[in-house]
Amino acid sequence: MPEAPTLTGRVVFQYFYDVGGEIELERIPQQKLNVIERHVPRGARILAPKYEEVGLQPIEIDLGARKIDRHKATIEGHIFPIGVIGININIEFRKASFESATKLVTLNERRVKVGEKEIDFDELPLELFKDLMKTIKSAIAYPYPAFELPEIYTLILIAGSEPRLEAEDFLTKFRKQTAGLLRGERDWQSLSDKEVEDALKPYLSYSDEDIVIVDWYAALISGAVEYTDELVRMIEFARIQLLELKTYDRLLDRRVERMYGSLRATFTAPWFGIAWMRRQYRELTRTTRELAELRIEVTDSVANLRNILKFTGEWYLGKLYRIASERFHIGDWLALVDKKLSQLQEFYTMAMDRVNTHRMHTLEFLILLILAIWILMDVLGILGIL
């Protein structure tokens, strides 16, 4: 059996919340926030190729430190213009065994003591999110009903190990321990070979010393100390994309259900008479307008999500982003939203057809009314009444 290593690094518990609109960063009262200014050290060498972000550079906020059980946690807030606030809870570990690190990874699955209170772990980031929302509320534009549930993910960032672990060691010598760490499974010995293979399959390694393994529960990054932040950002963007797609999917479900009820009411109502004088017609035209606005809004937002990052060539970070996207089934969510957008287009077409039918019948009714009045006037004139 290989010598059991000890690990040094940190666990990052990430919580991403949809704010119900876009965030105009220039309108945020930064003087009320402890903004973090990050500077790249002069001469720092970045192994990973550079990439181009598309409007996703966040404002980073220092939210202080808390004592969670016996662990000191440093907390940061990330405000993204796309309409997402991220709360990152960082807890460091030193010379920890795989078992100890795995126990730390599952810290957010139970009640913990924060200060003098015992709370569910998830209550802490939610409280911090609500406080940030109060501060930036005036900067939210184009509001819509926010998605209440956060997108939760865990990062295990390993800066060193004793004895030193190469990238391959995580996949061979300590593969079951690594899978247990990624799945938060303390009883890692019981994991089947199939489950271990599934947990370790999506990985990327730029050199013999670093590795990134992306699983559905957590991601492990070892080595890559100089450009860990770049790797974290790629995974972070994929989680944000997933959150926004879930938000639009839920938003479309709600709007389509409500609009279906409106269309059903207008389709079953009689059309005889002047359309624009009837409540059903006004309801139908309002529904048609909402359908058009929602379709444009969501189509534009989804297009932005498709182009959330732009890469040139076969870049290392681009590969990581694609691995994360596949792992999180972002393609499936995009397809689902596209399907509902198509359904929305069908509703819009049906509504417009009904509006046009109402208008045509109204014109016919008015023409007949005018003809009747004209004939009546002629008859009255012949009778000498007029």
pLDDT at 1: 53
Nearest to 178 by CA among 91, 278, 105, 268: 105
- Residue 80's SS3 state is strand
249 residue type, one letter = D
- Interacting residues of 145 by C-beta distance below 8 A, sequence separation 6+: 20, 251, 254
For 156-163, what is the mean pLDDT?
Answer: 93
181 phi, psi to nearest 5 deg: -65, -45
Dist CA 121 CA 106 (whole Å) = 10
For 139-143, what is the mean pLDDT?
Answer: 87
Q: Of residues 244 and 275, which shows the higher confidence score?
A: 244
**Longest Cα separation, the chain:** 118
pLDDT band for position 380 (50/70/90)?
confident
Nearest to 205 by CA among 316, 328, 52: 316
pLDDT at 208: 87
Percent of the chain with pLDDT over 90: 42
Q: What is the pTM of this model?
A: 0.83
Would you list the domain boundaries of the chain? 6-227, 237-382
Which is it for strands 151-162 and 218-222: parallel, antiparallel or unpaired? Answer: parallel
Q: Please list the alpha-helical segments (H only) found in the chain.
A: 98-105, 123-136, 167-171, 175-183, 193-200, 228-268, 279-306, 316-327, 330-382
Token output for 124: 């802490």
CB 103 within 8 A of CB 117: no
- Interacting residues of 213 by C-beta distance below 8 A, sequence separation 6+: 170, 178, 182, 199, 200, 202, 203, 219, 220
- The three-point CA angle 100-105-109 to 5° equals 120
153 phi, psi to nearest 5 deg: -150, 160
Give 93-135 pLDDT, tens digit per residue: 999 999 999 999 999 999 999 988 899 999 999 999 999 999 9
Give 240-258 pLDDT, tens digit per residue: 989 988 988 888 887 777 7
| Average pLDDT of the residues of the chain | 83
- Residue 123's SS3 state is helix
CB 104 within 8 A of CB 96: yes
Give 194-244 pLDDT, tens digit per residue: 999 999 988 999 888 899 999 999 999 998 778 888 889 889 989 998 998
pLDDT band for position 372 (50/70/90)?
confident
Dist CA 235 CA 214 (whole Å) = 8
CB 154 within 8 A of CB 242: no
Dist CA 328 CA 238 (whole Å) = 8
Dist CA 127 CA 240 (whole Å) = 20
pLDDT at 2: 61
pLDDT at 276: 47
378 phi, psi to nearest 5 deg: -65, -45
Token output for 115: 């200060």
In this predicted structure, which of 83-92, 306-315, 360-369 has the lowest mean pLDDT?
306-315
Which residue matches tokens 């998830």?
Answer: 122
pLDDT at 174: 94
Token output for 226: 């100089």
Q: Prior bond to 125 cis, omega within 30?
A: no
Token output for 275: 């359309």
pLDDT at 248: 86
Which residue matches tokens 């890559």?
Answer: 224
Token output for 66: 């808390």
For 26-48, what is the mean pLDDT?
Answer: 71
Dist CA 228 CA 46 (whole Å) = 10
